[in-house]
């Protein structure tokens, strides 16, 4: 604990005695952090208090000022939100005590506010940021009329008095020096306006160690703001700047975070446009003070770490501020206060129209065609999403060749999935987001095409870069309209800044776009409502969370270019879809996550939602070789165009697939029946077992799931023992989940003990006069919580069942097709050969294709004369897809890949386990892994598991929970999941496991 280093202070015991004497409070003290005062938490039977002891020689006038301020605040703010002064038994607001004859200390006692320090809480969601702004704003409003002579004082931490930091600059070098110089300069530039701003007494130190956060129903809420020791009479805006400077620490999207704080502050303490306009340099200036103070303190008090507490974070935020576009940042803050008008909806006539075709030499283009490059565009094929520019460029070129007089244009504010696949990502307000939104009307025009002024205008700005230049034209319309043209060849520019030019004036030629450079058109037009000063900072791609702002900063292209006929794309909202789904679909369907997802595209290990957000999928073992694998898609499309019919006609695809599948199985598994789902496969397997044995009774595993048909539900304790279940049916016999970690027998040697329960159930069946028809088991039990079967278990269970005349069914619906890495089928890990194997999910890579593979004997017994007809099972399209999936697994070496990446990930998870004790067990094989959250007594941490899955979704990673107590996180991604994906997963798991709600009990 860092306390200011002062010698001669009384011991905690002595202080406790003083407190008892002067306040009548008996309690114990615990030291807290502090910069100036010695701070203690005093715990008494009446509750907690904050005791502050000033250093010897403290300015009594200042302390009186603080007491007056508290007294003033308590008349207008709820007592629970700011500390209340507790008087001594004599009614005094301070307690003096002598350290020695020459030194007196002053102690003050305050009410204790509950909560944790903001700096120790992670994460800080949008609503909490807004609450922070609101609480800080409410304090400023409460202090608006507070006057005090002592509030007018000299202070290094006052932004208005930040000039001293200039003298510190030579303590810095390199990039740090550049950042400081930049903000000093910005601060200088705003002085004339800044000095005019209104002043009042403000808190002046709403930093991350002076803000308290409480948790209500697992939601963080702001419980109070403390420590008014830095209160001062200064520009009101400084207080907001300070609140932002610390509130945005740790945020990826500081623009949004600042906007939330401003929204809250402005609601409680209305700001002016002029004040908001100056926030950017003022926020930075507070951080400049912070890093300069830290440098100074390092020299003066190297031991006091508290004095440097915010330094690293301050540098990070300074760098973040430096690298963003300050104009867009400020517009975002103005928007947060409602200062930006939304003119999108205004009639197009509001701005004076001009012709898009007039941008090019007369007659060059006669028509315009607007392209769809959005999430469901036919141009965005799996190959294009995989980054294949050649395919994309060739499609566009073909369209151009087919219609040479047509100008092809792309939409402004369109979400482009091809952008989603690129690495540009950050954690935004709603979680992880990709820079997927295109800004501007992009045009596919050949290099060297002349671009002309569409009407008389003034050249406001020119940005000349090496390859690509842009011009900002002031179209001098009644409403502000600025046309930014990007993509011009730098050497060709025919105009200069300040030129007033006529319609048709040559501006420049379209530049050369490198092949594969971008999925946007070479020439881009943005129609802005505001004259940006630094046009090189205006992006052509933004994050989805920035869309609302940019809608306000730009005109829609059709508002300026009226010949543009942009088809309206029907956008479904999540809200509407959920409502319609509720209305029209069965209520037993569930939706994942607290905040449901609306997915529109799949690509490899990723899914892309309707906002263009890309999610790393660690859940979907159905998309085995990757979502929308181009080869699998093409195989299905090709066969769909040729023939799709049932198995009553002979077709080579079904026999080819049967042969290819059987190659992966050991003898005597030699006969295949194709079906459409895992449920159907298990249903058929049960019929076969019953046909082969003439018996009805099935032995199944506790918490097992085998499908949704009646016969499958009857053997799935996951269902019949779960919500809405009717309990175990007559002919089902459940054996305990062989969970070596938390089950009734534990440790690596428990296989035999669990297997004895199979024998026990056989005996029970025999007692009732029957014999077992079958024993059904997954090779790694999925719904049970990724339970690896203990050694020897399957072997012994199979042996017992066979001895009683039953058959053994291996349900490989989840784990099959190479997923376990070491083998192609999960049962092979246990060195057994089942009589029947059921497979499903991975075989069709998302297409409904499943199969039952059995021994010749079982097949013979089943073929008793009754035809087995399945309308869709084994149709040529499904079989073409299945064949392609098997080929891809082999050619892309995915089984070996699953082994290597799975081992790598498992090792990483075990390392995380050493850091986060709630990760109690890590298990699984290949890319079928899981980890279980429990406390030290192995009690399941179900809520934390749910929190983890939901937070991971926010961070762009899809995970699911399962197990008896829903406390196991399952990892079973598409098999193309890479080491980089594993690193991303581990990094985010580490982050979330470190969050506040994962740590507390």
Q: Enumerate binding residues for ligand PLP (CB under 6 A).
A: 677-679, 682, 705-708, 778, 782, 811, 813-814, 840-841
What's the CA angle centered on 224, arms 221 and 230, to 5 degrees? 140
Based on CB atoms, which residue is closest to ligand PLP, 612 or 707? 707
Based on CB atoms, which residue is closest to ligand PLP, 553 or 619? 619
DSSP reduced 3-state for 345: coil
Question: E strands of 398-530, at which residues?
Answer: 406-410, 414-415, 425-428, 431-434, 437-438, 441-444, 450-452, 457-464, 469-474, 482-488, 500-501, 506-509, 523-528
Based on CB atoms, which residue is closest to ligand PLP, 420 or 838? 838
Least distance in angstroms from the C-beta of 990 to ligand PLP: 29
Q: In whole angstroms, give the CA distance from residue 951 to residue 972.
A: 18
Pairing outcome for strands 957-958 and 437-438: unpaired
What's the CA angle centered on 54, arms 52 and 55, to 5 degrees? 145
Q: Are the beta carbons of 417 and 385 closer than 8 angstroms?
A: yes
Least distance in angstroms from the C-beta of 815 to ligand PLP: 8
Residue, CB closest to ligand PLP: 678
637: which 2 tokens?
A: 């499309």
Q: Half-sphere exposure of 93 toward its Cβ, with a 13 Å CA cutoff?
A: 14
Least distance in angstroms from the C-beta of 872 to ligand PLP: 13
Q: In whole angstroms, give the CA distance from residue 814 to residue 932.
A: 19
Least distance in angstroms from the C-beta of 879 to ligand PLP: 17
Least distance in angstroms from the C-beta of 310 to ligand PLP: 50
Q: Are the beta carbons of 463 and 469 closer than 8 angstroms?
A: yes
Q: In whole angstroms, give the CA distance from residue 754 to residue 437.
A: 55
Based on CB atoms, which residue is closest to ligand PLP, 307 or 713? 713
**Strand (E) or helix (H) holding 929:** strand 928-933
549: which 2 tokens?
A: 């702002």
Least distance in angstroms from the C-beta of 843 to ligand PLP: 10
Based on CB atoms, which residue is closest to ligand PLP, 137 or 678? 678
CA neighbor of 619 nearest in space, from 960, 924, 895, 368: 960
Least distance in angstroms from the C-beta of 683 to ligand PLP: 9
Classify residue 845 as left (phi > 0), alpha (psi -120 to 50) or beta.
Answer: left
Q: In whole angstroms, give the CA distance from residue 993 to residue 824.
A: 33
Q: Are the beta carbons of 821 and 898 closer than 8 angstroms?
A: yes
Q: In whole angstroms, give the CA distance from residue 233 to residue 235.
A: 7
Question: E strands of 247-405, at which residues?
Answer: 367-370
Based on CB atoms, which residue is closest to ligand PLP, 694 or 722? 722
Least distance in angstroms from the C-beta of 814 to ligand PLP: 5
Based on CB atoms, which residue is closest to ligand PLP, 206 or 849? 849
Q: Are the beta carbons of 57 and 6 closer than 8 angstroms?
A: no
Based on CB atoms, which residue is closest to ligand PLP, 431 or 973? 973
Least distance in angstroms from the C-beta of 783 to ligand PLP: 6
Least distance in angstroms from the C-beta of 948 to ligand PLP: 22
Terminal-residue alpha carbon distance, the chain:
23
Least distance in angstroms from the C-beta of 620 to ligand PLP: 11
Based on CB atoms, which residue is closest to ligand PLP, 455 or 690? 690
Q: Are the beta carbons of 774 and 801 closer than 8 angstroms?
A: yes
Q: Are the beta carbons of 271 and 265 closer than 8 angstroms?
A: yes
Based on CB atoms, which residue is closest to ligand PLP, 420 or 677? 677
Q: In whole angstroms, give the CA distance from residue 347 to residue 557.
A: 13
Based on CB atoms, which residue is closest to ligand PLP, 374 or 926? 926
810 bridge partner residues: 777, 837
Least distance in angstroms from the C-beta of 818 to ligand PLP: 17
In the sheet that 599-603 helps form, which strands lie side by side, from edge to edge? 599-603, 606-609, 614-617, 957-958
184: which 2 tokens?
A: 């000093």
- Total residues belonging to the chain: 1001
Least distance in angstroms from the C-beta of 933 to ligand PLP: 22
Q: In whole angstroms, give the CA distance from residue 602 to residue 382.
A: 8
Residue owning tokens 């309707």: 610
Based on CB atoms, which residue is closest to ligand PLP, 425 or 811? 811
Least distance in angstroms from the C-beta of 826 to ligand PLP: 10
- The rounded radius of gyration (Å) of the Cα atoms in the chain is 35
Least distance in angstroms from the C-beta of 739 to ligand PLP: 16
């Amino acid at each position: 604990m860092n306390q200011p280093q002062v010698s001669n202070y009384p011991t905690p015991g002595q202080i406790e005695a003083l407190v008892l004497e002067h306040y009548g409070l008996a309690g114990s003290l615990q030291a807290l952090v502090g910069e100036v005062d010695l701070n203690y938490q005093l715990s008494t039977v009446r509750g907690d208090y904050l005791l502050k002891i000033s250093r010897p020689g403290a300015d009594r006038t200042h302390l009186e000022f603080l007491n007056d301020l508290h007294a003033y605040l308590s008349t207008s703010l709820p007592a629970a939100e700011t500390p209340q002064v507790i008087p001594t038994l004599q009614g005094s607001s301070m307690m003096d005590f002598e350290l020695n004859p020459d030194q007196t200390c002053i102690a003050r006692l305050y009410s204790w506010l509950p909560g944790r320090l903001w700096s120790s809480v992670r994460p800080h969601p949008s609503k909490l940021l807004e609450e922070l702004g609101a609480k800080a704003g409410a304090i400023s409003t409460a202090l608006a009329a507070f006057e005090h002579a002592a509030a007018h004082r000299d202070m290094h931490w006052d932004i208005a008095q930040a000039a001293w930091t200039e003298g510190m600059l030579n303590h810095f070098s390199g990039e740090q020096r550049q950042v400081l110089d930049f903000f000093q300069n910005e601060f200088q530039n705003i002085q004339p306006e800044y000095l005019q701003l209104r002043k009042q007494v403000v808190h002046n130190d709403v930093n991350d160690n002076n803000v308290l956060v409480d948790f209500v129903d697992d939601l963080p809420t702001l419980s109070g703001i403390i420590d008014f020791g830095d209160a001062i009479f200064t520009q009101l805006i400084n207080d907001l700047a300070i609140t932002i400077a610390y509130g945005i620490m740790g945020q990826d999207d500081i623009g949004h975070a600042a906007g939330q704080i401003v929204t809250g502050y402005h609601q409680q303490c209305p700001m002016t446009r002029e004040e908001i306009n100056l926030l950017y340099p003022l926020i930075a200036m507070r951080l400049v003070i912070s890093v300069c103070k830290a440098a100074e303190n390092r020299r003066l008090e190297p031991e006091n770490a508290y004095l440097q507490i915010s330094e690293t974070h301050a540098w990070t935020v300074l760098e973040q501020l430096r690298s963003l576009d300050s104009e867009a940042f400020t517009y975002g803050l103005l928007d947060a206060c409602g200062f930006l008008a939304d003119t999108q909806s205004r009639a197009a006539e509001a701005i004076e129209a001009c012709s898009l075709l007039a941008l090019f030499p007369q007659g060059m283009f006669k028509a315009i065609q607007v392209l769809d490059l959005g999430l469901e565009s036919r141009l965005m094929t799996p190959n294009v999403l995989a980054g294949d520019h050649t395919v994309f460029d060739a499609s566009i070129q073909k369209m151009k060749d087919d219609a040479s007089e047509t100008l092809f244009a792309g939409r402004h504010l369109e979400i482009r999935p091809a952008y989603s696949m690129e690495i540009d990502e950050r954690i935004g307000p709603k979680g992880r987001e990709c820079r997927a939104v295109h800004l501007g009307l992009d045009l596919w025009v050949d290099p060297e095409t002349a671009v002309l002024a569409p009407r008389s205008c003034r050249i406001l700005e020119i940005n000349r870069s090496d390859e690509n230049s842009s011009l900002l034209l002031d179209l001098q319309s009644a409403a502000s309209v600025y046309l930014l043209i990007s993509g011009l060849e730098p050497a060709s520019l025919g105009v200069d800044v300040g030129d007033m030019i006529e319609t048709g004036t040559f501006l420049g030629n379209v530049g050369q776009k490198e092949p594969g450079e971008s999925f946007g058109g070479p020439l881009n037009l943005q129609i802005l409502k505001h004259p940006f000063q630094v046009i090189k900072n205006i992006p052509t791609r933004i994050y989805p969370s920035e869309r609302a702002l940019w809608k306000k900063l730009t005109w829609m292209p059709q508002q300026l270019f009226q010949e543009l006929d942009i088809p309206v794309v029907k956008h479904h909202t999540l809200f509407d879809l959920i409502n319609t789904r509720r209305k029209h679909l069965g209520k037993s369907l569930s939706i994942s996550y607290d905040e449901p997802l609306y997915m529109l595209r799949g690509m490899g290990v990723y899914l892309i939602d309707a906002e263009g957000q890309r999610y790393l999928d660690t859940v979907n073992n159905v998309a085995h070789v990757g979502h929308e694998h181009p080869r699998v898609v093409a195989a299905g499309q090709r066969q769909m165009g040729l023939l799709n019919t049932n198995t009553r006609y002979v077709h080579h695809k079904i026999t080819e697939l049967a042969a290819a599948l059987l190659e992966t199985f050991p003898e005597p598994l030699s006969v295949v029946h194709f079906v459409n789902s895992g449920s159907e496969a298990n249903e058929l397997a049960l019929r076969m077992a019953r046909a082969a044995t003439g018996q009805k009774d099935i032995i199944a595993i506790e918490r097992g799931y085998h499908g949704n048909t009646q016969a499958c539900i009857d053997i799935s304790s996951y269902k019949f023992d779960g919500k809405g279940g009717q309990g175990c049916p007559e002919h089902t016999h459940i054996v305990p989940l062989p969970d070596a970690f938390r089950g009734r027998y534990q440790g690596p040697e428990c296989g035999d003990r669990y297997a004895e329960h199979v024998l026990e159930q056989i005996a029970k069946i025999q007692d009732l006069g029957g014999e077992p028809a079958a024993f059904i088991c997954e090779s790694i039990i999925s719904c049970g919580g990724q339970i690896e079967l203990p050694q020897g278990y399957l072997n012994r269970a199979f042996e017992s069942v066979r001895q009683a005349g039953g058959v053994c069914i291996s349900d490989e619906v989840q784990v099959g097709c190479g997923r376990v890495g070491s083998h192609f089928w999960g049962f092979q890990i246990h060195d057994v050969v089942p009589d029947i194997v059921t497979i499903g999910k991975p075989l069709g890579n998302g297409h409904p294709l499943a199969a039952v593979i059995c021994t010749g004997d079982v097949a013979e017994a089943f073929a008793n004369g009754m035809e087995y007809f399945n309308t869709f099972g084994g149709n040529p399209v499904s079989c073409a897809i299945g064949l392609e999936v098997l080929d891809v697994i082999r050619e892309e070496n995915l089984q070996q890949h699953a082994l290597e990446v799975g081992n790598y990930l498992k090792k990483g998870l075990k390392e995380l386990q050493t850091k986060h004790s709630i990760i109690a067990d890590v298990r699984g094989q290949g890319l079928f892994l899981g980890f279980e959250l429990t406390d030290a007594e192995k009690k399941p941490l179900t809520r934390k598991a749910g929190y983890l899955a939901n937070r991971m979704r926010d961070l762009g990673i899809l995970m699911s929970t399962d197990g008896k107590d829903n406390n196991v996180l399952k990892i079973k991604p598409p098999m193309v999941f890479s080491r980089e994906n594993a690193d991303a997963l581990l990094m985010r798991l580490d982050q979330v496991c470190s969050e506040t709600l994962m740590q507390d009990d």
